[in-house]
Structure 1
C-alpha cells in the first residue's frame, strides 16, 4: 500500500495550482490585450499584434482613446440606461418570480405542476425564434402614461424591461429553494392565522437570502448580455439605447481601433470587477444563511 508523504502531497498541490494559474493566464490574454490596446494609437496597436508587445504597456501610452470615445458617443447616457434597465428588471423579476414560486410550492391549486413544467420547457426555446413575433406584439400594445393612452412600446424603457421580468430559471431556483424550507414554519404560521402574503413576506423571504443572491447575480449577468439584439430591434432613438448598442457608433465611417478597444474596456472591465468583488460576498451570504431543520 503506497504511503503519501507530506512532500509529495505538497508537490501535487503546487503542480495543480501552477496548471490552474497557466490556464487562467491563457483565458486572461484577450482581456489583457484589450486593455493594453486601449491606451495605444491605432497604428501602434496594429503593429504590436505581431509580438508580445500587444500584451505590454509599452510605446506611446495615453488616455486619448478614452477621451475620443466619450466625444464620439454619449457613453454616460448609455451606461445609465444599461444600469437602470438591469436594476429595474432584476428587482421586478426577483419579486414576481419569488411570488410565482411561492404559489407553486405552498398553495396547492389545480394544474400548478403542469404549468410549472410548461414554464420550464420554455427554457429550450431560443430568443431568436420569438423575437419577430414579440416585436409585432409590443409594437401594438396599449400603454397608459402621463400623456394618456398610447399604442406601441417602441423606443421606451418598458419594452426593454417588461418582456424580461418573467424568467423560468429564476422561478425554478426559488421553487427548489422553497421546497427545502421546513414545512413546520408554514404550518405554524397558518395556525397563528397569518395570511399567505404575511407568510411570504415575514417567514419565507427572510430565509431566502442565498437564493436571492444567486438569482440576482445570474439575472444581472443575463440582462447585461441580452442588451444588444432586442434593443437593436426595438429602440431607434439615442435616449433609450443601452451600452451594448452604443458599440455601433465606433464602426461608422472610419474605424479607430484604439477607440473601439477603449469602449470595450469601459463596458467589460467594470462588469468583471463588479462580479469579482461581489462574488465573495455572495458566497459568504450563501454559506452563512441557512435553516436548521
Structure 2
C-alpha cells in the first residue's frame, strides 16, 4: 500500500475537524440562540433573528424577561415538581430494573426467556395507545396514605412516578451489560456463601457504573421532558411539571423573551445532570463499541 503523504494526512485531518465543528454548531447554535434571546426584549429579539446578532449579547440586554417569567408562572414550583418526580423515578427505576436484569442473567428460573421477550416487546408499543386505558385505571385506583384511603391517583405525584418506574429499555440495557460481566465472580461469591442480594449489591452493582450512568441519563431525559401524561392526569397547579407549565406563556399575548427565559431555566437541570454523569456515559458508549 502506498504511504499517505503528510499533505494528504493534514488535509484529511482538517476536513475531519471541519465536519466535527459543523456538527457541533448544529447542536450548540439553538442553545446559544435561546440563551441570548432570553436577555432581549421581544422587538429586538425578532429583529435580530435575521442576522448574526441573534447569537450575540448585543443591544438592550437585561434580566427583565426572567423577572417577568417568575411573575407570569410559578417557575420554582414547576422546576421543583419536575426535579422531584424525575429524581424519584430515576432512582426507583434503576433499582427495580437492575434487579430484574440480575434475575434474568444470573438466576435460573422457568420462563425467564419468555418474560424477557414480553418486556422487550413493550418497546414497540407507543405510549399513546395505552394512555387512555392507563388513565381509566389510575382514576379509580385506591391509595392508602396518611389521610386514609383515596380512590384516585389523579392530581398527585405518584401518578407521575409509579407508571414509569419499570420500562423495557432500562431492563434491556442492564441485561446486555450484565451478560458481559465474568460469571466467575458470581460463582466464586456463591462458593463463599454470599446470598444473591449480596452478590447483586456488593459484586455486580459496583462494576456497573457505566450502565447505571447511561440508564440514568436516558431515564432523566424521558421523565424531565414529560408533557402528554402530566397534561392528562394533573389539573392542579401545585403538581404540574415544567413542560406543562410552558403553556402559561402562550396564553393571550405571547412574550417570546419570557418564553426563552423560561426555556433557559428549565434546561439548566438537564445540562447539569448530564455534566455530572458524562464521563461514565462516554465510558459506557466506548466499552459498548469495543465489545461490538
Q: TM-score, normalised by structure 2?
A: 0.92
Q: CA contact under 8 A between 2:90 and 2:219: conserved in structure 1?
A: yes
Q: Is the 8 A contact 1:79 1:242 kept in 2?
A: yes
**Pairwise CA distance, 1:30:** 2.1
Give 1:189 deviation, angstroms: 2.0
1:48 touches 1:54 (CA, 8 Å); kept in 2? yes
Residue segments in structure 1 that go unaligned for 5+ positions in a row: 289-293
- The aligned residue for residue 73 of structure 1 is 73
Preserved CA contact (<8 Å) 2:210 2:283: no
Cα offset for 1:202? 1.9
Query: Offset of 1:212 from its aligned partner?
Result: 1.2
Gaps of 5+ in 2: 288-292
Change (3 A) 1:277 1:235: same
How far apart in 1 are the matches of 2:25 and 2:192? 58
Kept in 2: contact 1:97–1:171 (CA 8 A):
yes
Residue 98 of structure 1 corresponds to 98
| Structure 2 counterparts to residues 80-159 of structure 1, below 5 A | 80-159=80-159
1:231 deviates by 0.5
Q: 1:152: Cα distance to partner?
A: 0.6
Q: 1:203 to 1:24 in 2, by over 3 A?
A: closer
The answer (yes or no) to whether the contact 2:213–2:277 under 8 Å persists in 1 is no
Contact 1:94 1:215 in 2 (8 A): yes
Q: Whole-Å Cα distance in 2 between the matches of residues 20 and 282 of structure 1?
A: 20
How far the C-alpha of 1:188 sits from its partner, in A, is 2.0
- 1:167 to partner: Cα distance: 1.1
Residues 7-50 of structure 1, C-alpha deviations (whole Å, 9 max, x = no match): 32122112210222123223333222222211111112122223
Match of 2:218 in 1: 218
Q: Distance in 2 between matches of 1:212 and 1:278?
A: 10
Distance 1:273 1:96, change over 3 A: closer
Secondary structure at the counterpart of residue 144 of structure 2: strand
> Comparing 171-180 with 81-90, which one deviates more in the overlay?
171-180
How far off its partner does 1:51 sit?
A: 2.7
CA positional deviation for 1:64: 0.3
Give the aligned partner of residue 261 of structure 1: 260
Whole-angstrom distance in 2 between the partners of 1:125 and 1:277: 32
Alignment of 1:1-293 (within 5 A): 1-225=1-225, 227-276=226-275, 278-283=277-282
Computed over aligned residues only, the root mean square deviation of the Cα atoms, in angstroms, reads 1.9
Cα distance, 1:84 vs structure 2: 0.8
CA contact (8 A) 2:217 2:273 kept: no
Cα deviation, residue 265, structure 1 = 1.4
Asked whether the equivalents of residues 42 and 258 of structure 1 are also in contact (C-alpha less than 8 Å), the reply is yes
Moved more, 200-209 or 95-104: 200-209
Contact 1:213 1:286 survives alignment (8 Å): no
Q: Is the 2:85–2:160 Cα contact (8 Å) retained in structure 1?
A: yes
Superposed displacement of residue 68, structure 1:
0.4
Instruction: State the match for 1:291 in structure 2.
Output: none
- Distance in 2 between the 1:84 and 1:269 partners? 15
Displacement of 1:229: 0.8
The total of aligned residue pairs comes to 287
Separation in structure 2 between the aligned mates of residue 119 and residue 11 of structure 1, nearest angstrom: 49
Please give the per-residue CA displacement for 1:143-182, whole angstroms capped at 9, x wherever unaligned: 1100111111001110000000001111111111111222
State the distance in 2 between where 1:131 and 1:154 align: 14
Instruction: Give the Å deviation of 1:287.
Output: 7.0
* SS of alignment partner, residue 62 of structure 2: coil
Change beyond 3 A, Cα 1:277–1:209: closer
